[in-house]
Amino acid sequence: MRIDARQNRERVLSAARAEFTAHGGAASLNKIAQRAGVGPGTLYRHFPSLADLLVAIIAEDVTALCARGESLLGHPRPGEALREWLRAVAVHSSAMRGLVAAELLGAAQNPALSDCHTAIRAIGAKLLRRADDLRAEDLRPGRTGIDDLLTVVNAVAWAAEQTAHDPDRLDRLLALVTRGLP
Amino acid sequence: MRIDARQNRERVLSAARAEFTAHGGAASLNKIAQRAGVGPGTLYRHFPSLADLLVAIIAEDVTALCARGESLLGHPRPGEALREWLRAVAVHSSAMRGLVAAELLGAAQNPALSDCHTAIRAIGAKLLRRADDLRAEDLRPGRTGIDDLLTVVNAVAWAAEQTAHDPDRLDRLLALVTRGLP
DNA sequence: TGTACATCAGTGAACGCGCGTTCACTGATGTAC
DNA sequence: TGTACATCAGTGAACGCGCGTTCACTGATGTAC
């Protein structure tokens, strides 16, 4: 890829993050291009659809999230590891006015985002199983599955973004929601 | 109010419910008018802004929700009463693709919706306090407040609407979230 | 009860706007010699 | 190393579209006599 092309791609991604953060899902592609200092045609050359743009933005974070999860698999206290990772998921999902949470929950409709969702789910399932194993006597059919757990974490991440900003709220809601976990 | 005016008002409200249910926050006022069989001017005469339309729709449900809460204050098992009412809140908030949940969480920005939010909060606080009182020995500074509780309930109601429809999901998520409540 | 009229709700074409998207043209980059 | 050229990224005016919103006009309703 040509140097200027790569630079423009980065500038578009950066502008898109800013616009999505400012306006959530109502962000405009023309304004993203304008903020990036490129013409709309340039934006389209790099990202044929809005979904491509979102995937590119989200994918970077998801990679980091999965790496974090992998390393937490070696944490001496599995329950704590799970909570720490769920908090990282929530922070990630809070981005861009909760747009990330909304997209990930509806990821089934979008093949590219679906990969992100699958990756998160996989590492989350490992962390949850490891935490569960420590008290195997509690294993019961109805124990929380990773899908419901991630759905709830995404939900509170989104909710925390919808109201006036309160720095402690996300942690309070997460505590409420993960109460009863190993 | 003239008879035909009242009929049109009802038809607009009904069409709006249908359009919001189909398209969430992306519903179009012109299409609502079209579906109702009235001109756009008629819609504007009854509801000068989209917020007015939403408030009118939501307010009806909120009234019923508060009445339900009041009657549940006489329920012999306060904890069960609280859960039952929270489920009713969740069902209400799920309406229109989660738009109701989103609006109620951001209600602070909208005076009219804010009244709905306040009414719900008031009856919820009563139900929660009644449930808490039964085990007063557990009263601790960090016990869940009604605001966080309602936020979480709205959050899961919204989340349940974002994904493919699974009739059991809402109840599972609510159970997860209210685990640890009196 | 019947009729004439004033009121006000309803109409819908039309407006301006910003959106997503296209494409003929320009020009910078990287390469081959 | 220097130069000529082919490639392909960038440009941005322009398009069609559907949106929210307006307003001069029509007509139904309810009332007064």
Q: How many CB atoms lie within 10 A of CB B126?
A: 17
Distance A178 CA to C18 C1' (A): 44
Distance B1 CA to D17 C1' (A): 38
Assign B181 a pLDDT band (cuts: 50, 70, 90).
Answer: confident
Q: Collect all residues of chain B within an 8 Å Cβ-Cβ radius of residue A106.
A: 162-163
Q: How many CA atoms lie within 13 A of A148 on its CB side?
A: 18
Render A45-100 in DSSP notation, one character per residue.
Answer: HH-SSHHHHHHHHHHHHHHHHHHHHHHHTT-S-HHHHHHHHHHHHHHHHHTGGGHH
Residues 17-36 of B with CB under 7 A from strand D: 27-31
Considering the entire predicted model, what is its pTM?
Answer: 0.93
Distance A8 CA to C26 C1' (A): 17
Q: How many CB atoms lie within 10 A of CB B3?
A: 7
Give the tens place of pLDDT for each residue, A163-180. 988 999 999 999 999 987
How far apart are the C-alpha atoms of B38 and B34, rounded to whole Å? Answer: 6
Secondary element (H or E) of residue A173: helix A169-178
3-state DSSP assignment of residue A105: helix
Measuring from the CA of residue A7 to each C1' atom, give the nucleotide at the shortest distance: D9
SS (H, E, C) chain B: CCHHHHHHHHHHHHHHHHHHHHHHHHCCHHHHHHHHCCCHHHHHHHCCCHHHHHHHHHHHHHHHHHHHHHHHCCCCCHHHHHHHHHHHHHHHHHCHHHHHHHHHHCHHHCHHHHHHHHHHHHHHHHHHHHHHHCCHHHCCCCCCCHHHHHHHHHHHHHHHHHCCCCCCHHHHHHHHHHCCCC
Those nucleotides of strand C lying less than 7 Å from any protein Cβ are 8-14, 18-24, 28-30
Residues in chain A, overall count: 182
Give the tens place of pLDDT for each residue, B116-170. 999 999 999 999 999 987 655 555 455 789 999 999 999 999 999 999 889 999 9
Residue B157 near residue B90 (C-beta atoms within 8 A): yes
DSSP conformational letter for A144 = P
pLDDT attached to residue B135: 59
Average pLDDT of the segment spanning B73-78: 96
